[in-house]
Chain A
Amino acid sequence: MSGTDPSTLDYLRRRLARERQARETAEALIESRTRELFVARLNAEAANRAKSDFLANMGHELRTPLNAILGFSDILALGIAGDLTPRQKEYVEDIRQSGQRLIALINQILDTAHLSLDQDDIPLSPVALAPILHEVYQSRIARARQAEIRLSVEWESDQTILGNAAALRQIIGNILDNALKFTPPGGRVVMSLKAGDSSGEVQVTVADNGPGIPEAERPHVFEPFHQISQGLNRAHEGAGLGLTLARHLVTLQRGRIQIHDNPGGGTLLCLVFPVMSPEDAALKQAP
């Protein structure tokens, strides 16, 4: 440093002092911001918990009176409280159907909200898919007949995956509900279970011959509250949450969900899961 001009040294010292001061200011700012973020995170977590509690309470509060409406309309419809005139039967049936739609919608909204808030994994265990498909089929067959839609289910051999039976029932049920919703009277909906295109995979498909999903809409159908095209939106009810929930639950089970054109017209929704491997089975048996 002996050859350095004293004035240069002087301004270098001043620069160094300024840099130090700036660094101290920046560090103080970072500390203050970090503290603010910590408090904000605590507040956000508390708000999230409050929201979860609210959803749980609301679920109970909404379902309880609706169950009474549904129960008593069933009693009326069955004639337990006395005979009804044809017009009264028609009115009671309207109440019953509207109540069922409402409770399905509430369940869907609450399930989606709950999952988006809290659930990023679900317990997995070996699940045979054929019995699940059969259960879902049984639960919707009456509705399909009422809508004059031919509903069928087919599989050559059962397949086992590492999944969650309740979630699978919900996923396949939501997809089937959509298919039934968009298929016109006289149409056909087919559920099937078969080996996947790639080895080690299994496919569950639901094919309908409704109006289909336009190519441009496909990237958006899994977004919350998305409804397919404004024209159809008015004719078909729903919160636009079924596919959002389905995709979330499929992903949690290491699967994927795909939309294709049904070769005969309409939509083919395809769930692809890895078949349970010996390693999966060993993992599940491990203590």
Chain B
Amino acid sequence: MKGIVFTEFLDMLDSRFGPDTTEEVIESVAPPSGCAYTAVGTYDHKELFDLVGALSRKTGIATDQLVRAYGHWLFGRFFTIYPDLFSGIGDSFSFLESVDSTIHIEVRKLYADAELPRFLCHRNGPDSMIMEYHSHRPLADLAHGLIEGCAEHFSETLTIEREDGRDGNDHTCRFTLLRSHRP
């Protein structure tokens, strides 16, 4: 998993829970990398799960909620770090469609080794879309949070229904998105 997911997670911990909590979580997990993450590096995704688990034990918040909240937060950070990805895109559905068709292609140009989830989008109408998540990592909650962050970024109201599943070794999730408000 790319280092940016880890560096941003630690930044979220600092920002939302304070540096003391971050240090305690790191100390309790003591991952092989020592949490000396760099955004351009690649690390074992299990370290992220261990950090989330430790945070959950410390705060009493369920891991799925933490991961989802992280996804929501991460989307806002993507806008700050990569504003070019948003160029010419005016709504959440268009952005979500661009994840597989444009963004992941650009990511692979920089990081040929990146193992990226797949997001297949099918529009059912102007305000209705199915988004199918496929990954060998169980991170549908992160995708859920990213979709929420995306809706918030474009000042839209989305109702998100999800159906988790498996496809062989892959984790899948079918998100049904209904848009009830757009500016």
Contact = CB atoms under 8 A, between A and B. Distances in A.
A133 B19 CA distance: 77
A209 B40 CA distance: 59
Interface stretch (A22-30, A146-154, A169-177, A245-253): A22-30
A14 interface: yes
B36 interface: yes
Contact of A11 (B23, B35, B41): B23
B23 to A, nearest CB: 4
B20 interface: yes
Contact of B41 (A14, A18, A29): A29
Given A26-B41, A29-B41, A14 B36 contact: no
Contacts of A17: 36
A14 B26 CA distance: 10
Interface residues of B, number: 11
B23 A22 contact: no
Given A11-B20, A11-B23, A18 B38 contact: no
Using C-beta atoms within 8 Å of the partner chain, give the interface range for chain A. 10 to 19
Contacts of B35: 18
Interface string B113-155: 0000000000000000000000000000000000000000000
Nearest to A23: B38
A138 interface: no
A22 B19 contact: no
B52 to A, nearest CB: 19
A25 B11 CA distance: 19
B60 interface: no
Contacts of A23: 38
A18 B37 CA distance: 8
A235 to B, nearest CB: 37
A14 B41 CA distance: 20
B39 to A, nearest CB: 8
B37 A14 contact: no
B40 A26 contact: yes
Contacts of B41: 22, 25-26, 29
A21 interface: yes
Interface in A1-59: 11, 14-15, 17-23, 25-26, 29
Interface string B9-48: 0000000000110010010000000111110110000000
Contact of A18 (B19, B20, B34, B40): B34
Contacts of A29: 38, 40-41
B174 to A, nearest CB: 37
Contacts of B38: 22-23, 25-26, 29
B176 to A, nearest CB: 40
A14 B20 CA distance: 12
Interface of B: 19-20, 23, 26, 34-38, 40-41
19 contacts: A11-B19, A11-B20, A14-B23, A14-B26, A15-B19, A15-B23, A18-B34, A19-B36, A20-B36, A21-B34, A21-B36, A22-B37, A25-B36, A25-B38, A25-B41, A26-B40, A29-B38, A29-B40, A29-B41
Given A15-B19, A18-B36, A21-B34, 5 more contacts: A11-B19, A18-B34, A19-B36, A22-B41, A29-B38
6 closest A-B pairs by CB: A21-B36, A26-B38, A11-B23, A18-B36, A22-B38, A22-B36
